[in-house]
Amino acid sequence: MSTFRPFTLRAGHRVVEYCHPVVMGVLNATPDSFYAASRLEAEVEKVASRARDMAAAGADIIDVGACSTRPGSKAPDAAEERRRLDAVLPAIKAAIGETALLSVDTYRADIAAHCVSELGADIINDISGGAIDEAMFETVASLRVPYVLSHMRGTPDTMSSLTDYEDVTAEVISELSPKLYQLEEMGVADIIIDPGFGFAKTLEQNYSLLANLESLSIFGRPILAGMSRKSMLTRLLDIDASEAEIPTAIVGTLALERGASMLRVHDVLSARQSVKIVETLNANA
């Protein structure tokens, strides 16, 4: 069982210290997220209300996406992604204040720059690890914001065919290592590692990665586990995403025990409960 290591994130002019595992709430301003109940599109009042509820339930970070990245998805063009974010981010920022940090889930560097500079975003969460837009690393370095470095092969449209691994955990580490080094050399201070559950991994590879998650502690960076309601749960258990809150809490608990510092989830309250259980267990070990 791994012990949580406190860390800090620099958000604008303040430094936020995390002494407990972090819960990142997922908020989708899209019409086509894989989990139907999370599809809010650009309905400002609904998005702001959901963000407010997440913060009240204990979300430390709210991660807003306006471009679905589910396997096989076709991305909207940059203008549409920007339109959606322009519509919702100011309302979300007003709704949560400084209760939670605001993360934007995008792989487009110009969108990242716009959201940080003009809309008040604190974190950039790039599911492609800089592979889709080569300007992303330079952009994040210039913005001086925390960056979620994720593992993925290909694009959401092609990744399902790119699952040829000898050892998935070892190869995730080897493929992320040069990117982490590059970011560090460019002066990016706050880097979060996301091994990319569900992105270019088979069902079995996802569970192998979860079983060996503690190996990623070699990076010395916070580890984010994003498995919420994904097909690694629904396919295994033959259920719909709408039925996967409890399985999500279970794998979240297992991830925390294996060194995850952050859980990215649709259901903030159950994730916060998982955190409390694991912390109590560790305190009495």
Q: Which one from 82, 84, 229, 264 is the annotated catalytic residue?
A: 264
93 as an active site residue: the answer is: no
Count the Cβ atoms, other than its own, within 10 Å of residue 194. Answer: 25
DSSP secondary structure code for residue 158 in this structure: T
Q: Are 85 and 65 in contact (CB under 8 A)?
A: no
Decide: 159 and 153 in contact? Cβ < 8 Å: yes
The one catalytic residue in 108, 230, 258, 272 is 230
Could you please report the per-residue DSSP string of 103-165? EEE---HHHHHHHHHHH---EEEETTTTSS-TTHHHHHHHHT--EEEE---S-TTTGGG----
- The two structure tokens encoding residue 79: 């203008």
d(CA 67, CA 31): 9
Give catalytic residues, as residue numbers: 230, 264
